[in-house]
Structure 1
Amino acid sequence: MAAGKRSLITAAVTVVCAVTVLAAPGTAFASPSPTPSPAASAPATPAPGASRAPQPSKDLEEVRQRLEKLYHEAAVATDAYNAAEEQSKQQSAQIVALAKKIVEGQRRLDQLKDRAGAAARAQYRTGGLPPEAQLVLSDDPQQFLDGTGRLLQGQRATKGMLGEMARTQEDLKQYAADASERWRQLEANRKAKEAAKQKITQQISAAEKLESQLEAKEKARLAELERQAALKAQTAWLDTGILKDVRAASSGQGKQAVAFATAQIGKPYEWGAEGPKTFDCSGLTSQAWAHAGRPIPRTSQEQWRQLRHVDVKDMRPGDLIIYFGDASHVGMYVGDGAIVHAPRPGRTVTLAGAGTMPILGVVRPDA
């Protein structure tokens, strides 16, 4: 039993905890390879010394969309990974607490058993005679009567002790059952994390492979297409007049959160990272608010689910803007229509237009 208790505590304490949420845009796509020109539009054999034709914009736009889709799917998988990780942390803590209760309960039960044994031995020493016989055989009836009073008190105490033993045993059974269930959930989350990790790795590897196939001029053109797409989305968002009523000043904690987040600008994105050298999107926002003295959920989906929702027109610096219908990305509003966020693998923490991605809604940590 002692060995089992030690192994339970050891296993509980050594549960691994890590990782977080990724982010990026997403849409559907076509083949990353260039579309060949029709045979009639070019000679069958290139002229000697002819340079390679530039990548058609249409094909690069498809590449841009494909990259967005791959990184978005990686972001979704990362949120699943981080959700499982957060649950694992909670379950690990619960298992440790249950293990301590089991150890303490067993210690208490052993003490009660020792007391019960002492009571049984005392009864044996009296010969087990009924009180009437003991009175007849007693040389000092008054002493016997005094002893009888103490005996009745002892009987009541023994009855209470036996009841406490029964309750302690039931508690131990329940603790063991709860611990077993937590272990089952922990194993399910371990499998979910592993599956999500594989999905993240696959999507990021596919995106990196796609980008590696581009030449330097194509990469430059792709970057320009991304900039143009972001500018177009931001302009369309601003043209709605969405910011005309956004005037709210940040709170004291909001200012601290913004100061922390903007101080991280230039640091690399890394999925699952919470700083201090690298961040993912929700790692940045959760650490910023923790630095401001307001702990918030670790993942963008839980930030969306648990924090107070506010209207866009009421948002203020420090509020979090949640993106995409699946809440797979988050940035912190810093004012003037801008956010600070950790975009995706290969990028760094940066400022961006708040409307460059589809907005799901706004949440306020210090509501």
Structure 2
Amino acid sequence: MASHRRPTPSSGSARTTRVSVLSAAAATAAAALSSGATPAGADPRGTPADVLPRVDRLYEQAERATEKYNAADERRDRLHGQVERIRDRVARGQDRVNRMRDGLAGLAGAQYRSGGLDPALALLLSEDPDGYLDKAATLGRIGHQQAVRLRALQAAQRSLRQQRDEAGHKLDELERSRAEVARHKKAVERRLAAAQRLLGALAPGERGLYDRASRSAGRGDEAFADLLGSGLGPSSARAAAAVAAARQAVGRPYVWGMAGPGGFDCSGLMQWAYAQAGVAIPRTSQGQRYAGRVVPVSAARPGDLITYRGDASHVGMYVGNGQVVHAPYPGARVRYDPVGMIPGAMATRV
């Protein structure tokens, strides 16, 4: 989702002073567009050389927020399913309690007609029989059959209360999860709106520079040169099917929070592609990093998932010849880019 132009500096590493190929290309091209003629006193924040890196950072932040949104949304859906299952159990439990109480009421009626209702049974049929049952049984005031049925009712009522308490806790958790989803959604929207404002202030030719420059990110990165033309095929039939699906998605729009088929964010594309191969993988890029066996990026084969950055906030699928297919960022479409487009790459074989 985020543009893939500048490595994120790592404290204490040699990368702290290194400028990525894309950042340098963007700055050089932007300077050429502006002809280096920024008037004295002009606001430098409006120049392409400054705007494009800021857009890059905003898209990267939006991508991280999107993956948090996806995780919260997945958790909300899971909680909703749990609540519905608990409600079903509560409904069945209530029906069972009602049937048991009806049966005991029938027994009480028969006793009444035959000479009077046992006082113990009358008390035990009340709303709160707890505590009296043991006393009544000890005193011999009810028969064995009645005691068995009343104990069963007592256990059913206790289970029903526990299930209702559980449902209440899950409902509270679900509401908190919904609020969390809303917070992450607002974070994504704020960053995307800020990026669009920055891009909107550029001239049309300058706006196009962002997409053109990002396509060249990382090309010729020596760390991945051994992948070019390796000729290795997919590691399995399901990996081959996932690659075929991902290739079919090329050209479809990036839409944050979506997992196809009409639009995708980065992790949504991976989940959808593997679903077409009959394989379920986690929804988020963080979950996808460990959805299989981690292998060296230099040994990547088509179908392997390539996650990026230390927090795995972006993911693509290796398709061979040093390329990944991925959903890059808002405004772009699913496309091919070099595997070395962002630092911190890891490969996972599903």
Quickly say closer, same or farther: Cα 1:281–1:120, change in 2 above 3 A.
same
- Matches of 1:221 and 1:88, distance apart in 2: 39
The residue identity in structure 1 corresponding to 2:202 is L
From 236, 240, 258, the equivalent of 2:222 is: 236
Percent sequence identity over aligned pairs: 36
Pairs within 5 Å for 1:174-185: 174-185=162-173
* Equivalent AA in structure 2 for residue 323 of structure 1: Y
Match of 2:80 in 1: 92
CA RMSD of aligned residues (A): 3.2
- The equivalent residue for 2:321 is 336
Partner of 1:204: 192
Q: 1:260 aligns with which of 245, 254, 258?
A: 245
Residue 90 of structure 2 corresponds to which residue in structure 1?
A: 102
In structure 1, stretches of 5+ residues that fail to align are: 1-21, 45-55, 131-153
Distance (whole Å) between structure 2 residues aligned to residue 257 and residue 163 of structure 1: 56
Q: 1:51 maps to what in 2?
A: none
CA distance in 2, matches of 1:76, 1:268: 19
Give CA-to-partner distance per residue, 1:10-65, whole Å, 9 cap, x none.
Answer: xxxxxxxxxxxx54446599xx99898585xxxx9xxxxxxxxxxx9xx5443332
Maintained 8 Å contact 2:324/2:339: yes
- Opposite residue 100 of structure 1, the aligned amino acid is D
- Hey, what's the Cα distance between the residues in 2 that align with 1:309 and 1:246? 20
Is 1:274 the counterpart of 2:259? The answer is: yes
Write out aligned runs for 1:42-121 (5 A).
60-121=48-109
**Structure 1 length as normaliser, TM-score?**
0.73
- Paired residue type of 2:275: A
1:229 shift after superposition: 3.8
Deviations 1:179-224 (A, max 9, x none): 1111111111111111111111111111111111212343354445
Q: Mark the CA change 1:315 to 1:227 in structure 2 (over 3 Å): closer, same or farther.
A: closer
TM-score, normalised by the number of residues in structure 2: 0.76
The residue identity in structure 1 corresponding to 2:181 is: K
Q: 1:67 to 1:129 in 2, by over 3 A?
A: closer
Displacement of 1:129: 11
Measure the CA separation in 2 of the matches of 1:162 and 1:360. Answer: 64
Q: Report if aligned partners of 2:227, 2:321 keep a CA contact under 8 Å in 1.
A: no
Structure with larger Rg = 1
Equivalent residue letter for 1:68: D
The reply to whether residue 289 of structure 1 matches residue 277 of structure 2 is no
1:94/1:269 Cα in 2 relative to 1: closer, same or farther (>3 Å)? same
Partners of 1:227 and 1:84 lie apart in 2 by 31
**Cα displacement (A) at 1:167:** 1.5
Letter in 2 for 1:92: H
Residue pair 1:60, 1:222 contacting (<8 A) in 2 also: no
In structure 2, the CA distance between the partners of 1:129 and 1:329, relative to structure 1 (3 Å rule), is: closer
Q: Secondary structure at the match of 1:278?
A: coil
* SS, match of residue 221 in structure 2: helix
Shift in Å, 1:310: 2.9
Do the aligned partners of residues 326 and 245 (structure 1) sit closer, same or farther apart at CA in structure 2, a change above 3 Å counting? same
Give 3-state SS (helix, strand or coil) of 1:159's partner: helix
Verify the 8 A CA contact 2:224 2:339 in the aligned structure 1. Answer: no
Tell me the equivalent position of 2:14. none
Describe the shift of the 1:88–1:224 C-alpha distance in structure 2 as closer, same or farther (beyond 3 A).
closer
Matches of 1:104 and 1:250, distance apart in 2: 48
Structure 2 CA distance for partners of 1:227 and 1:101, relative to 1, 3 Å: closer
Cα pair 1:243 1:337 within 8 Å, conserved: yes
CA contact (8 A) 2:295 2:347 kept: yes
In 1, Cα distance between the equivalents of 2:181 and 2:51? 29
* Inter-partner Cα distance in structure 2 for 1:129 and 1:361: 76
1:90-128 Cα shifts (integer Å, max 9, x gaps): 111111111111111111001111111222233334437
Q: For residues 117 and 166 of structure 1, what CA distance do their matches in structure 2 show?
A: 14
Does residue 1:361 correspond to 2:349, yes or no?
Answer: no
Query: 1:304: how far off?
Result: 2.1
Range with bigger deviation, 314-323 or 97-106: 314-323
| CA 1:225–1:256: 2 relative to 1, 3 Å | closer
Aligned to 2:18: none
Contact 1:61 1:225 in 2 (8 A): no
Q: Which runs of 5+ in 2 are unaligned?
A: 10-22, 24-29, 119-141
Confirm or deny: 8 A CA contact 1:243 1:313 kept in the other structure. no
Q: Deviations over 1:157-180 (max 9, x none)?
A: 432222221121111111111111
* 8 Å CA contact retained: 2:318, 2:324: yes
Task: Give, as a single letter, the amino acid of the residue that structure 1 aligns with 2:260.
Answer: G
1:162 has 2:160 as partner: no
CA distance in 1, matches of 2:234, 2:335: 22
